[in-house]
């Protein structure tokens, strides 16, 4: 039933998008993606049965909003994308160094070849229905490019804010390309404006050329009933990518993050923090794929569950044939703060080479009563003791290389979510 309604809505959306004034090459990519989508299946996320959730059309139920979005508005984002509106306030130093940023429409006009190559590449790699739809239906996003040999030390802040008044879902795509020996830090905040209930599809696609270094922080605070986040990176020789994903979304969520360690000696770390509350269900597919020899990957996922929520961490590590001397490690840990919550931590390691180092650890547990007792014996209230233990547990997954002020902001948001649910 849902499927039939959704198909109809998607077809209407597609028709509308194809009527837009866009170059023929883009229309062709969209049509190919559309056809592809119809042949593919939804992404498989173990232990979470999400396939019956409405994922592509506005659902009637509106999630109860909390007032915390106002705080975001006070921050000046260098790139912000509210619905189809964009604003750019790039730091002068970034512009002078040669950082290029294009809105989706600017990219079509000014750098069509780059955009086209990216979209074709993405389409080729798309192996799920959701990914293909994302390409067919994308209407907004950024293209960010750092030229070769340019190192930017400041943090580039990006806001992707879903609009409330969309009839169909929101498809947004951020493309990041780092040239050889370049360096960048990104803080990407993903939010929904109040009253928004339409499904959200957000993609982040990263390409790192040789020796490039990127730190990507994703702070996800979606309010939509359903959010699908797809983050993918391809790493060339000796490039490095640290993902720091912080999921504080209020609806249901499927979050996929994949690092393709293609180049020799490339390195990627994926740190994930998630807090679920009420009836929320969040599922994560966090993947590290080692192709290049001596590549190195590490997954660290920590989650806290409140109320009757559900949280699943799938950690997938694959070392391909030929990836000699690689390293792949993962840790998935859940802390349950409610007996009604359900959680799963599933590490999966697939190894095709012998001379590698790979390991995994997983745990699902409750808050340690001895720790609470110890803290309370020093006069801390139970609530305060619990807050310290839980934030302590989660903060172990905040990368130490992250700017202190940003780390504080993340911790503040985590505390808010723990208190407000």
Partner 1 sequence: MSTLVIRQLHVAIVDNETKKQTEIIKGLDLTINTGETHAIMGPNGTGKSTLSQAIMGHPNYIVTSGDILVDNVSLLAKTVDERARLGLFLAMQYPVEISGITNFEFMRAAMNAQRSPKEQLSIGNFMAELQRNLKMLNMSEAMLERYLNEGFSGGEKKRNEILQMMMLRPKFAILDEIDSGLDIDALQVVAQGVNALAGPKFATLMITHYQRLLDYIKPDYVHIMMDGRIVKTGTGALAQELEQTGYAHLRDELGLDIKLVDED
Interface residues toward partner 1, by CB under 8 A: 368-371, 373-382, 384-385, 388-389, 391-396
Task: Please report which helix (H) or strand (E) contains residue 388, including its range.
Answer: helix 382-395
User: What are residue 142's phi and psi, to 5 degrees?
Assistant: -125, 155
* CA 151 to each of CA 142, 179, 372: distance values in angstroms, whole numbers, following the listed order: 20, 10, 45
Q: Please, which residue, 16 or 382, has the CB nearer to partner 1?
A: 382
Q: Please, which residue, 137 or 385, has the CB nearer to partner 1?
A: 385
User: What are residue 89's phi and psi, to 5 degrees?
Assistant: -135, 60
| Minimal distance, residue 389 CB to partner 1, in Å | 6
| Minimal distance, residue 138 CB to partner 1, in Å | 39
d(CA 218, CA 62): 24
| Minimal distance, residue 356 CB to partner 1, in Å | 28
**What are 174's strand-pairing partners?**
142, 204
| Minimal distance, residue 274 CB to partner 1, in Å | 16
| Minimal distance, residue 50 CB to partner 1, in Å | 31
Q: Please, which residue, 288 or 390, has the CB nearer to partner 1?
A: 390
Angle, helix 24-39 to helix 112-125, in steps of 10 degrees: 10
Do the strands 100-103 and 140-146 form a parallel or antiparallel pair, or are they unpaired? antiparallel
Q: Which two tokens stand for residue 209?
A: 């050329």
Q: Is 235 exposed, middle or buried (0-12, 13-18, 19+ CB in 10 A)?
A: buried
| Minimal distance, residue 374 CB to partner 1, in Å | 5
d(CA 244, CA 404): 14
* CA 76 to each of CA 72, 159, 407: distance values in angstroms, whole numbers, following the listed order: 9, 9, 17
Q: Please, which residue, 36 or 333, has the CB nearer to partner 1?
A: 333
Q: Please, which residue, 13 or 398, has the CB nearer to partner 1?
A: 398
Q: Please, which residue, 286 or 397, has the CB nearer to partner 1?
A: 397
């Amino acid at each position: 039933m849902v499927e039939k309604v959704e198909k109809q809505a998607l077809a209407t959306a597609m028709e509308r998008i194809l009527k837009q004034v866009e170059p023929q090459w883009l229309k062709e990519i969209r049509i190919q993606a559309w056809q592809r989508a119809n042949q593919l299946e939804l992404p498989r996320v173990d232990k979470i049965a999400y396939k019956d959730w409405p994922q592509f059309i506005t659902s009637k139920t509106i999630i109860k909003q909390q007032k915390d979005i106002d705080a975001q508005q006070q921050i000046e984002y260098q790139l912000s994308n509210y619905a189809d509106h964009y604003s750019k306030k790039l730091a002068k130093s970034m512009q002078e160094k040669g950082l290029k940023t294009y809105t989706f429409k600017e990219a079509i006009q000014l750098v069509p070849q780059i955009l086209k190559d990216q979209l074709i590449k993405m389409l080729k790699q798309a192996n799920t229905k959701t990914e293909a739809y994302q390409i067919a239906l994308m209407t907004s996003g950024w293209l960010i490019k750092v030229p070769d040999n340019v190192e930017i030390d400041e943090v580039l802040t990006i806001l992707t804010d879903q609009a409330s008044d969309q009839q169909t879902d929101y498809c947004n795509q951020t493309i990041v390309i780092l040239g050889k020996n370049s360096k960048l830090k990104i803080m990407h905040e993903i939010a929904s404006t109040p009253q928004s209930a339409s499904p959200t599809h957000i993609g982040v696609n990263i390409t790192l050329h040789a020796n490039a270094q990127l730190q990507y922080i994703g702070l996800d605070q979606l309010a939509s009933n359903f959010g699908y986040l797809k983050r993918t990176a391809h790493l060339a020789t000796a490039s490095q990518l640290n993902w720091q994903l912080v999921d504080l979304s209020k609806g249901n969520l499927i979050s996929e993050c994949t690092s393709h360690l293609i180049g020799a000696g490339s390195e990627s770390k994926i740190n994930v923090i998630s807090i679920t509350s009420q009836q929320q269900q969040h599922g994560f597919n966090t993947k590290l794929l080692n192709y290049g020899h001596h590549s190195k990957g590490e997954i660290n996922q920590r989650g806290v569950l409140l109320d009757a929520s559900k949280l699943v961490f799938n950690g997938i590590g694959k070392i391909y044939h030929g990836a000699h001397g690689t390293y792949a490690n993962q840790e998935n840990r859940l802390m349950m703060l409610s007996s009604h919550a359900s959680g799963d931590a599933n590490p999966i390691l697939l190894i095709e080479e012998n001379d590698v180092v790979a390991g995994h650890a997983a745990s699902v547990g409750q808050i340690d009563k001895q720790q609470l007792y110890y803290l309370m014996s020093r006069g801390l209230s139970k609530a305060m003791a619990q807050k310290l233990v839980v934030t302590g547990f989660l903060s172990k997954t905040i990368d130490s290389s992250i700017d202190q002020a940003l780390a504080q902001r993340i911790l503040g948001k985590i505390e808010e979510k723990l208190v407000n649910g």
